[in-house]
Amino acid sequence: MGDCVSRFGKKSAVELAMVGLDGSGKTTILYNLKKKDFWNVKRTVGYNLENIRVRNKTFNLWDIGGVKNIRPLWRYHFIGKHGVIFVIDSSDVRRLDEAITELWNITKDPVAKNVRILVLANKQDKSGAIKPDDIKEKLTKENTFKNIEWEVMPASALAGHGLKKALLWFRPQT
Ligand code: GDP
């Protein structure tokens, strides 16, 4: 983590990889932050990259496809990144365990050793969405993150709620 912070530098961009199951809302998040047309979002096969400026800081946000057969490739995108945003579709209770298993795989992977992980509990606007506190409690109980700095935050990508705050969580403390 110390290395990670010192690598930020004052002018350099914060490099973030955004992963999560397909359909969790990653591309919608990216395009909402970039104010692009996100009403016609198509499935991401490889990755989308945008640089986003928030409070005088540039964030390079890599939206990486989440379809099952390409998930083993996520790890290559963690190299050289300061952090990972793991997006969860909070309204999809059925796939919560699948999402958490993928999160587990990341936390156990040595390539993600020095990255901070933000779990973004997306689709909070939908009725029945699991609350971030409940996700946090589950992850804490299961001891998912050992020696990793992490947090859970709410978001609604369609409305744009919680997105900038999520990026700012990675901003280096100066
Ligand atoms: P990705 O596969 O993770 O990139 O997911 P997409 O960005 O393609 O989103 C999948 C679907 O979820 C799309 O129909 C989006 O409009 C919808 N979606 C994404 N974020 C939200 C959200 O915060 N609230 C609601 N209600 N729908 C969302």
Q: Give the torsion sign (CA, 139, 2, 153, 98).
A: negative
The residues spanned by each domain of the chain are: 14-168
Write down the pLDDT at residue 147. Answer: 84
Q: Residue 17 and residue 82: Cα distance in Å, rounded?
A: 8
pTM of the predicted model as reported, rounded to 2 decimal places? 0.91
Q: What is the pLDDT of residues 68-87, one digit of tens each?
A: 999 999 999 999 999 999 99
Three-state SS string over 4-62 comes to HHHHHCCCCCEEEEEEECCCCCHHHHHHHHHCCCCCCCCCCCCEEEEEEEECCEEEEEE
Q: Which CATH number fits domain 14-168: 3.40.50.300, 3.40.50.2300, 3.40.605.10, 2.60.40.10?
A: 3.40.50.300
Side-chain half-sphere of 39: how many Cα atoms within 13 Å?
1
pLDDT of 36 above 80: no
* Residue located via tokens 């990259």: 49
Atom number of ligand 1 nearest to Cα 21? 3
Q: Tell which one of 41, 45, 91, 153 to mutate to probe ligand 1, the residue whose CB is within 8 A of the most ligand atoms.
A: 41
Tell me which residues have their CB closer than 6 angstroms to ligand 1: 20, 22-28, 41, 44, 66, 122-123, 125-126, 156-158
pLDDT over 80 at 40, yes or no: no
The pLDDT-based confidence of 5 (bands split at 50, 70, 90) is very low
